[in-house]
């Protein structure tokens, strides 16, 4: 999951060191995974749910770069319970553009 600078600041504010929960690659900051799972997922639930990143709040809606549009992640076992509302599409598009803008500013 890609992180906004606001996400990083919020999680650091919860008492976690950035090096514990994030990795940097290709100009982006992402949540660290351990054994294929987010570092904040204990096997049953998110341990920082109220402070989770913005992208996690929108999941299973993700941005598909190939089609240049929001889609529902087919890998999510609950994907059939979600729809792509206009509001969610707009929120994800804003998130995507902010991530790109932050990446360009850091290069």
Q: What is the pLDDT of residue 32?
A: 96
Give the separation between CA 46 and CA 42, rounded to whole angstroms. Answer: 7
- The domain containing residue 14 runs over which residues? 2-106
> Per the structure, how many domains does the chain have?
1
Q: How confident is the model over 22-39, as pLDDT tens digits?
A: 999 888 999 999 998 999
Question: How buried is residue 8: exposed, middle or buried, by Cβ count under 10 Å (0-12/13-18/19+)?
Answer: middle
pTM of the shown model: 0.86
- Going by pLDDT thresholds of 50, 70 and 90, the confidence category of residue 10 is very high
First-last CA distance in the chain? 20
SS3 19: helix
pLDDT of 107 above 70: no
pLDDT of 69 above 90: no
């Amino acid at each position: 999951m890609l992180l906004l600078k606001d996400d990083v600041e919020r999680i650091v504010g919860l008492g976690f060191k950035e090096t514990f929960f994030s990795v940097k690659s290709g100009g982006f900051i992402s949540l660290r995974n351990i054994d294929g799972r987010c570092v904040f997922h204990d096997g049953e639930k998110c341990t920082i749910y109220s402070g989770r990143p913005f992208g996690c709040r929108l999941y299973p809606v993700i941005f598909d770069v190939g089609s240049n549009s929001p889609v529902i992640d087919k890998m999510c076992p609950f994907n059939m319970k979600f729809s792509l509302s206009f509001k969610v599409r707009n929120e994800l598009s804003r998130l995507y553009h902010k991530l790109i803008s932050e990446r360009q500013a850091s290069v």
